Amino acid sequence: MLFPTIDFAIFFAVAFTANWLLNPYPRTWKLAMVALSYVFYSWWDWRFVFLLAAVTITAQVGATAVHRFEDERHRRVAMVGTVAALLGILGWFKYYGFVAVNVDNFFHTLGSGRLLPLLEVTLPVGISFFTFMALSYVIDVYRRQLQPAHFLDVAVYLSFFPHLIAGPIVRGEELLPQIRRKRDPAAIDFGRAAWLVAGGLFKKVVISSYVDSAIVTPVFSAPHQHSALEILFGIYGFAVQIYADFSGYTDIAIGLAMFLGFRFPDNFDAPYTARNLQDFWRRWHMTLSRWLRDYLYIPLGGGRGSRLTVARNIMITMVLGGLWHGAAWTFVVWGAIHGSGQVVGHLRRSNRAAAGLDPVPDGRVRVWVQRIVTFHIVCLGWVFFRADSFSTATTLIGRLFSAWGRAPLVTPLVVITVVGAVALQYLPRSLGGRAQREFAGQPWVVQGAILGVVLLAITTLGPQGVAPFIYYKF
C-alpha cells in the first residue's frame, strides 16, 4: 500500500480513529495496531505476513533466551544463534539469487557443472528494515542495554506501519517505551505532523516523479542516445530524485507517527551540504548510519588500532552497507566508493596528527571546494547505485567526457528543479523551523486552506499514478 494513494488515505483514517479510541485500553490498542499493520503489509502480498511474524517470533524467542541465561557463554551462543537465524531469513530472500549466480559462474570457469539451483526468490518489501530492527533489539538485550519486552509490544515495534516498509530504522529503546505508555492527544503537534506529510508528498509526487520522467529514466535507460550534458543532468537528477523520494517517505512516516502520538528519529539533515563523505553519512539515512556504526563498525574495532585496521573497518562497513541496499556488484562498488573516500579522509587526518600538524584552518573557499568535491563523489556513487549493470555505469561515465552534442532533455525547468532542490538544502534550518511554527500557529481553518492548496498543487503537478518509493525494494 503506497502512502500517496486513496487506499492509504482510507486506511489511515481507520487507523487514526482506532488509535485514539483504543488509547485507554493498552492491550486492545496493541492488538489493533498489529492487525492494522499486518493488513497494511499484506496489501502487497498477503503471504509475506507470515515472514514478518516469523521474524518477530525469532527475535522475541532469541531475546528472551539471551536474557534468561546467566552464563556469558550461553548468552553469547543464544545471541549469535538468533542473529544467524535472522540473517539467514534475510539472506535467503535477498541474496540467494546473487550468491547462486556468482558461485555457479565461478565453478563454470573451472569447468564444473551447476552447483546451486537458480531459483526466483521474490524479495519481500521492506525486509531489510524490519530485520535490522529485530537484530538491534536482540543485540541490545544481549548488551544489557534493553530488557526483553512483552511479545505483543515487540510485534507492534516491528510491524508498526509508518516505518514498516522503508524506515526510519527505529531502535527498541526509542520506540518500545512509547508503545508501553498511553498517548496524550493534547500533546500532539498536529500542525507539524501535517507539514511533514504535505512536504513529503510534494517531494515524492512532484519533485521525484518529475525529474525521474523528465531526465533520469531516459538517460539511465539508453545512455548511448544522450549527450554529455544530458548525462550530467541525469546523474544530478538522480541525486535529487533519490533524496526527494526517500526523505519524502521519511517525512511522511514521521508525520503519520506524530498523528498517532509517536516520535521517530530524524533521518536526513541536508546531506548535499556535506563537506566530506563522513559528514555525508552523518546527514544521509542517519538511522542506518548509526545502525552500521553501533552494530558493525564499532564491534569490528571502530577507530581503535592502526591506521590500516581502521581503514579495514571502514571498508568492511561501507561495502556491507552497499550490499544491504541490493544484491548486485554495482551496490558493492557504490559502498566501496564511499568507503574509499572515508579511508582517504581518515588517513589524511591521521597523517597530519602523526606529524604534529594542526588541522587545516577553514575558509570560505575551502569549505565550498570540499562541498563541491563531496557532492560529485556522491554523484559518482549514485551512477552505480542507479545503473542496472556495470556496462551501463561505465557507458554513462565514459560519455560524460566524449558525447558532446545537443541536449534537448536539459530544459530550463529541469535545470531549475535540479539546481533549486540542491540549493534549498543550503537554507538555514531556522527558516524551515520558523515556517513550520508559523503554519502550526494558524487557526485550523487557515491550516486546512493551506493544506488544500498544497494538495491541489500536488494533484495538478504530479503524474497520474505514483511509482513505489525507491527504498521499498531494500
pLDDT of residue 100: 80
pLDDT the model gives residue 167: 79
Q: How does residue 354 score in pLDDT terms, banded at 50, 70 and 90?
A: confident
- Kindly report, residue by residue over 56-96, the tens digit of the pLDDT: 999 999 999 999 998 999 999 999 999 999 999 999 999 88
Evaluate whether 135 touches 158 at the Cβ level (below 8 Å). no
Q: What is the pLDDT of residues 193-247, one digit of tens each?
A: 999 999 999 999 999 999 999 999 999 999 999 999 999 999 999 999 999 999 9
Rg value, the chain, Cα: 23
Q: What confidence tier does 135 reach under pLDDT thresholds 50, 70, 90?
A: very high
Provide the pLDDT for residue 356. 83
Is the domain of 176 the same as that of 202?
no
Percent of the chain with pLDDT over 70: 99
| Residue with the larger pLDDT of the pair 430 and 249 | 249
- The whole domain housing 404 covers 190-461
Please indicate, yes or no, whether residues 232 and 142 belong to a single structural domain of this protein: no
Please identify, among 148, 182, 216, the residue that sits at the C-terminal boundary of a domain. Answer: 182
Domain count, the chain: 2
In the chain, the amino acid numbered 393 is A
- Say how far apart CA 281 and CA 252 lie, in whole Å: 21
Does 238 reside within a domain? yes
Tell whether 159 and 271 lie within a shared domain: no
Examine the fold and report which residue of 182, 205, 226 is the final residue of a domain before the chain moves on. 182
Among residues 24, 25, 305, 37, which one has the least CA distance to residue 156? 37
Task: Confirm whether 469 is domain-assigned.
Answer: no
Task: Report residue 38's pLDDT band, with 50, 70 and 90 as the boundaries.
Answer: very high
Tell whether 473 is covered by a domain: no
Please give the pLDDT value at position 466: 75
Q: 209 and 105 in one domain?
A: no
Query: Is pLDDT at 114 greater than 70 in this prediction?
Result: no
Are both 395 and 299 inside the same structural domain?
yes
- Identify whether residues 379 and 402 lie together within a single domain: yes
* Per-residue CA distances from 392 to 224, 335, 397 (Å): 9, 18, 9
Do 347 and 240 belong to one domain?
yes
Last residue of a domain, one of 152, 182, 212: 182
pLDDT at residue 166 tops 90: no
| CB-CB contact of 165 with 241 (8 Å) | no
Same domain, 339 and 285: yes
User: Could you say which of 163, 325, 338, 346 is catalytic?
Assistant: 325
Active-site residue, 74 included: no
- Confidence (pLDDT) at 115: 67
Judgement on whether residues 164 and 194 belong to the same structural domain of the protein:
no
Burial label for 119, CB within 10 Å (0-12, 13-18, 19+), is: exposed
In this structure, the answer to whether residues 39 and 163 fall within a common structural domain is yes
| Lowest-confidence region among 31-40, 114-123, 243-252 | 114-123
Distance CA 295, CA 135 (A): 9
Give the mean pLDDT of 119-139. 90
Per the model's pLDDT, the better-predicted residue between 308 and 359 turns out to be 308
pLDDT at 326: 87
AA identity, residue 207: I
Q: Is residue 295 part of a domain?
A: yes
Only one residue has cell 498511553, namely 182
Inside any domain, residue 246: yes
The 3-class SS string of 231-260 reads HHHHHHHHHHHHHHHHHHHHHHHHHHHHHC
239 and 162 both lie in a single domain: no
- 151: CB partners within 8 A, 6+ apart: 56, 60
In a domain, 403, yes or no: yes
pLDDT value at residue 433: 83
Does a structural domain hold residue 466?
A: no
Cell of 163: 516505518
Query: Average pLDDT of 113-120?
Result: 69
The reply to whether 470 falls in a domain is no
Mean pLDDT value across the chain = 92
Residues 157, 196: one domain?
A: no
pTM of the predicted protein model:
0.92
